[in-house]
């Protein structure tokens, strides 16, 4: 919950705007400001104070206990010009909160945390348990000193300006090690502990077994991602409590699923009790991985708990990102976030040039020229399979005549794939022309480089016969100058010569141009590959210089 505190009418107005925007995230604290701040500080994860920074400093100073425990605090000035991250920039989330508040109120976020100011991901913001010299290694990164990354487990980290060797080290490991001098240890959630237990097994016995087995194997409890068991044990109090104390989820599988897992130590006892010859080993292995510790029993007599430990490989992450039609303000916030998250960027060289300034230091860029779409898709998938965070970029929407199709054709279920939508050329052109896509519409590419012309022609003819608005992509190039006239001729068989046609070149870019003509008057020679051509249907009209296709609902035709 975010506590909102104000002292004046102007502050209250801004406060109420934020409360209205985030009704489920915020709580307004009324009354004397000092009492309100103290109450919110003790009850909320974050605070937004519509007060002077100095006043907030004096109010919260006696309440501070430590950076890992204090809520994040953001100050907004009386005129709403600035949102200042004051306390808990990383651990309290104040830096991100300042940015979010700025978006809602139109205020400039002010963030002074060194790594954020230098556009580097903070080592304590990666979502992984972190130990060691965080301040020293962060300072080395900021100063441009050589920092080595030693990844003992493949995991999709954001970009970091690291080197093969260095006097400072970032160590990514699930091993039970102490951070050395000038070293930070990051703990990936790579370990799965399979657990079996007799009815009534004490939580202390279950937890003691897990912790002892991990310690003897030299593995860190901080890297345990989950406990896993059979469905029949989903409510076993000792297992449930062990998961709670470890702070991890309890995942369960059916006996049938577990019975199908090949394990080194099957047993008749669990087969009789729950219907599978293995619980601990099978539950740990059911989703794959390396068995680090085979089934172990607790030391009690009789033993009431068993466990096994598996290391699952880090799943790479492939974000297929649509950059929109070209204008920076049509690049979505989600796309920007994925570009900043990616350690590897794969894309067409001219698209990379559009967004290079948004990338974080340390991002590895793999760019290539026109015609290498399938190669880029294969490269992006292979990089993700190495456990990396990858962004594959394309113009418009990545799923529309862009990189999503070839990438997903290459990808299997061994990586995570995220699609990031973008504004398509058809939508950008439609907004410029007016509302040509107000009713049913279709996009057709006239490029026969990958699709036989016979197929394209059949689709154009179907759209013509169905009286659907058509947007043509890739309409004409120097080597393909007859396809557009042919397609227009097919449409002309079913539509009047006066049918409105919109022609938009370089939609949303500085040299954008747009014109409205008709099916009979359009000269195909004025069209090139940077152009989108939208042909209306029999209902499309030119109204006040704009191309409009009515929605066509019957109520529009009824008299008032």
Residue whose structure tokens are 């007799």: 198
pLDDT along the chain (560 residues), means of 10: 89 88 91 90 91 88 85 88 87 87 89 70 83 90 88 87 89 94 94 94 95 96 96 94 96 94 88 86 94 93 93 91 93 92 93 92 89 91 93 93 91 91 95 95 91 95 96 91 94 96 93 95 93 95 94 56
* Contact by Cβ (8 Å): 324, 425: no
Written as six digits, the tokens of 32 are: 């004397």
Q: What is the pLDDT of residue 155?
A: 87
The alpha carbon of residue 295 and the mean position of all alpha carbons in its chain are separated, in whole angstroms, by: 37
Q: Which residues contact 497 (CB under 8 A, 6 or more apart)?
A: 518, 519, 520
- The CB density around residue 204, as the number of other CB atoms within 10 Å, is 15
Cα dihedral: 489, 491, 494, 495 (round 10): -100
Specify the 3-state DSSP secondary structure of 503.
strand
Beta strands across the sheet bearing 364-368: 364-368, 344-348, 389-394, 317-322, 416-420
Q: What is the pLDDT of residue 116?
A: 64
What CA–CA distance (Å, rounded) separates 216 from 457? Answer: 69
* Contact by Cβ (8 Å): 426, 402: no
Whether the link from the prior residue into 302 is cis, omega within 30° of 0, is: yes
Q: What is the pLDDT of residue 125?
A: 76
What CA–CA distance (Å, rounded) separates 111 from 294? Answer: 49
Q: What is the pLDDT of residue 153?
A: 87
Backbone angles phi, psi at 513, to 5 degrees: -140, 150
* Contact by Cβ (8 Å): 392, 346: yes
Residue whose structure tokens are 């487990």: 153
Q: What is the pTM assigned to this prediction? A: 0.75
* Contact by Cβ (8 Å): 506, 465: no
- The CB density around residue 557, as the number of other CB atoms within 10 Å, is 8
**Angle at the Cα of 378 (from 374 to 380), degrees rounded to 5?**
115
Q: What is the pLDDT of residue 158?
A: 86
Backbone angles phi, psi at 340, to 5 degrees: -75, -25
DSSP state of 554: G
């Amino acid at each position: 919950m975010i506590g909102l505190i104000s002292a004046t009418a102007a502050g209250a107005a801004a406060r109420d705007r934020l409360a209205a925007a985030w009704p489920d995230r915020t709580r307004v604290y009324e009354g004397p400001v000092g009492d309100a701040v103290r109450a919110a500080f003790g009850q909320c994860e974050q605070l937004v104070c519509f007060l002077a920074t100095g006043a907030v400093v004096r109010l919260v100073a006696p309440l501070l206990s430590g950076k890992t425990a204090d809520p994040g605090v953001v100050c907004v000035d009386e005129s709403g010009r600035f949102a200042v991250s004051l306390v808990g920039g990383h651990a309290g989330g104040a830096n991100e909160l300042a940015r979010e508040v700025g978006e809602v109120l139109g205020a400039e976020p002010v963030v002074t945390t060194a790594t954020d100011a230098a556009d580097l991901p903070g080592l304590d913001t990666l979502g992984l348990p972190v130990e060691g010299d965080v301040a020293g290694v962060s300072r080395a990164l900021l100063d441009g000193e050589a920092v080595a990354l030693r990844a003992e487990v493949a995991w999709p980290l954001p970009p970091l300006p690291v080197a093969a060797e260095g006097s400072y080290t970032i160590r990514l490991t699930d091993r039970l090690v102490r951070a050395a001098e000038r070293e930070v240890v990051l703990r990936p959630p790579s370990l799965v502990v399979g657990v079996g237990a007799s009815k009534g097994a004490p939580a202390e016995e279950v937890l003691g077994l897990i912790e002892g087995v991990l310690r003897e194997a030299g593995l860190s409890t901080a890297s345990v991602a989950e406990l896993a068991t059979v469905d029949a044990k989903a409510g076993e109090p000792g297992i449930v409590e062990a998961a709670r104390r470890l702070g991890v989820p309890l995942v369960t599988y059916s006996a049938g699923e577990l019975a199908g897992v090949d394990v080194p130590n099957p047993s008749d006892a669990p087969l009789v009790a729950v219907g599978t010859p293995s619980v601990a080993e099978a539950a740990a292995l059911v989703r794959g991985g390396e068995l680090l510790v085979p089934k172990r029993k607790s030391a009690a007599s009789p033993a009431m708990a068993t466990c096994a430990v598996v290391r699952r490989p880090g799943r790479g992450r492939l974000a297929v990102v649509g950059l929109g039609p070209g204008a920076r303000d049509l690049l979505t916030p989600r796309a920007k976030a994925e570009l900043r998250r990616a350690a590897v960027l794969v894309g067409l060289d001219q698209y990379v040039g559009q967004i290079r300034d948004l990338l974080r230091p340390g991002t590895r860029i793999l760019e290539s020229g026109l015609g290498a779409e399938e190669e880029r898709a294969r490269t992006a998938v292979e990089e993700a399979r190495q456990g990396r965070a990858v962004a594959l970029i394309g113009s418009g929407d990545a799923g529309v005549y862009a990189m999503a199709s070839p990438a997903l054709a290459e990808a299997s279920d061994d990586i995570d794939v995220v699609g990031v939508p973008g504004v398509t050329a058809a939508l950008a052109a439609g907004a410029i022309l007016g509302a040509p896509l107000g009713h049913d519409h279709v996009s057709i590419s006239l490029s026969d480089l990958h699709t036989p012309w016979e197929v394209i022609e059949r689709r154009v003819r179907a759209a013509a016969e169905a009286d659907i608005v058509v947007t043509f992509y890739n309409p004409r190039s120097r080597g393909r100058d007859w396809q557009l006239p042919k397609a227009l001729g097919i449409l002309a068989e079913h539509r009047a010569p006066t049918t409105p046609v919109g022609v938009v070149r370089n939609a949303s870019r500085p040299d954008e141009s747009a014109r409205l003509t008709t099916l009979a008057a359009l000269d195909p020679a004025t069209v090139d590959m940077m152009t989108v051509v939208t042909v209306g249907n029999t209902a499309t009209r030119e109204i006040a210089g704009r191309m409009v296709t009515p929605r066509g609902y019957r109520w529009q035709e009824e008299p008032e």
